C-alpha cells in the first residue's frame, strides 16, 4: 500500500486491546466462557466509542501458533466483528508467526494485524525472534488480503534488540519493508515521545502508533505526536478475580475516550 490505511482516518486515533487468556495453560477454559468473556469486554470498548479493538492472543509458544489457537481466535474475532460491526478489528498473536494473524484477519474481516518483530532480530522471553516482514508481505499477497494493514513494532519494549542500531533506523527499515503503520513504544511515556520525534526527524512518513503507557491524563500529549495510540492496561478494573468475565472498566474507558476526543491531535 502506498496511501494511509483507513484505520488511520478515524478520529481520535484510539485502538483498544482485549487480551485473551494464555491458552497454553488455560486449555480448560470452555469455548462458551471465551465467547462470553470476549463479548462482555468488547462491549466496554464499543459502548465507550472506541474506533478499533485489537484482539490479542497471549498463548506462549516457541513456534508458530497452534491450529487450535488459530481456530479459537478466528471464531472469537468473528463473533466480535458480528456483534460490533462499526468497530474496527485487529489481530495479534503471541506466537512468532506472520501467517496466523493474517489468516485470522482474512477469516474474520479484521482490518489490521500487529507484528511484534517485523525487521531485525530480538530476544524475547520465549527465545530469539527474527524478522517477519518477508513472510508477512508475501502471505498477505498470496491470500488477497491487501486491505489488511500491518502494524509493525519497532523494538517492542517486551524484548531486547539483537541488532545494534537506533530505533529510528529500524523504523525506516520497517517502512521500507511495507509496514502500513509503525508501533513505537519506549521504556516510559517520555521515551516513547522521544522515539517518535526521532523517527519523524529521520524521515518516517508512515503513520505512527504509540503502543503503551497511555492514560486519560496523557492521551492528549500522545495524540499530539502520534497518529494513534493503543491502550488496555490503564482501563482494566482495579479489583477482579481470576474467574471474572469482566476485566475492563466501562467508566475508565469512557473517561479515556472523552479525553481523547478533546485532544487537538497531531498537526
Residue 89: give its domain's CATH number.
3.20.20.70
Residue 23 has what pLDDT? Answer: 83
For residue 115, the surrounding DSSP H or E stretch is strand 112-115
The residue segments making up the domain with residue 62 are 6-262
**C-alpha gyration radius of the chain:** 17
Assigned domain for 267 exists: no
Task: Kindly report the backbone phi and psi dihedral angles of residue 249, in degrees, each rounded to the nearest multiple of 5, phi listed first.
Answer: -95, 120
Cα atoms in the 13 Å half-sphere on the side-chain side of 113: 36
Q: Is 206 helix (H, G, I), strand (E, B) or coil?
A: coil
Instruction: Look at residue 145 and tell me if it is in a domain.
Output: yes
What pLDDT, in 10s, does the model give residues 66-97?
A: 999 999 999 999 999 999 999 999 999 998 99
Residue 1 located in a structural domain: no
Task: Find all residues with CB under 8 Å of 12, minimum gap 6, and list them.
Answer: 51, 219, 223, 257, 260, 261, 263, 265
β-sheet with 127-130: strand ranges across: 127-130, 121-124, 160-161
**115, part of any domain:** yes
Structural domain contains residue 53: yes
Q: Which of 37, 38, 48, 39 is nearest to 15 (CA)?
A: 48
pTM, 2 dp: 0.93
Within-domain flag for 156? yes
Which residues of the chain are under the pLDDT cut of 70?
A: 1-3, 27-28, 266-267
So what's the pLDDT on residue 209? 97
* Number of domains comprising the chain: 1
Q: Regarding beta strands 181-184 and 149-153, do their DSSP bridges make them parallel or antiparallel, or are they unpaired?
A: parallel
Phi, psi dihedrals of residue 213, rounded to the nearest 5°: 65, 25
Distance of alpha carbon 47 from alpha carbon 248, whole angstroms: 12
Judge contact between 14 and 228, C-beta under 8 A. yes
The pLDDT value recorded for residue 143 is 97
pLDDT for the residue 267: 57
Return the pLDDT at 119.
Answer: 93
- CA–CA dist 235, 264 (Å, integer): 22
Comparing CA positions, the residue from 153, 159, 113 lying closest to residue 137 is: 113
| Residue 87 belongs to a domain | yes
Amino acid at each position: 500500500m502506498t496511501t494511509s490505511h483507513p484505520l488511520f482516518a478515524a478520529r481520535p486515533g484510539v485502538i483498544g486491546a482485549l487480551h485473551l487468556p494464555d491458552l497454553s495453560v488455560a486449555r480448560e477454559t470452555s469455548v462458551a466462557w471465551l465467547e462470553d468473556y470476549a463479548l462482555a469486554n468488547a462491549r466496554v470498548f464499543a459502548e465507550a466509542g472506541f474506533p478499533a479493538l485489537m484482539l490479542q492472543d497471549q498463548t506462549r509458544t516457541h513456534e508458530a501458533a497452534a491450529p487450535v489457537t488459530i481456530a479459537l481466535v478466528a471464531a472469537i474475532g468473528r463473533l466480535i466483528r458480528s456483534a460490533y460491526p462499526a468497530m474496527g478489528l485487529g489481530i495479534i498473536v503471541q506466537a512468532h508467526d506472520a501467517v496466523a494473524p493474517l489468516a485470522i484477519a482474512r477469516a474474520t474481516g479484521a482490518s489490521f494485524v500487529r507484528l511484534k518483530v517485523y525487521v531485525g532480530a530480538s530476544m524475547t522471553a520465549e527465545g530469539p525472534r527474527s524478522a517477519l516482514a518477508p513472510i508477512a508481505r508475501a502471505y498477505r499477497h498470496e491470500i488477497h488480503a491487501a486491505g489488511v494493514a500491518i502494524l509493525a513494532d519497532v523494538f517492542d519494549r517486551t524484548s531486547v534488540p539483537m541488532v545494534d542500531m537506533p530505533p529510528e533506523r529500524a523504523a525506516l527499515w520497517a517502512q521500507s519493508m511495507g509496514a502500513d503503520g509503525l508501533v513505537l513504544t519506549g521504556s516510559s511515556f517520555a521515551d516513547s515521545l522521544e522515539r517518535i520525534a526521532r523517527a519523524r526527524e529521520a524521515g518516517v512518513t508512515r503513520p505512527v502508533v504509540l503502543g503503551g503507557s497511555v492514560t486519560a491524563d496523557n492521551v492528549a500529549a500522545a495524540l499530539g505526536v502520534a497518529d494513534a495510540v493503543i491502550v488496555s492496561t490503564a482501563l482494566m478494573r482495579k479489583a477482579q478475580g481470576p474467574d471474572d468475565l469482566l476485566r475492563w472498566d466501562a467508566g475508565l474507558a469512557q473517561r479515556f475516550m472523552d479525553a481523547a476526543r478533546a485532544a487537538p491531535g497531531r498537526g
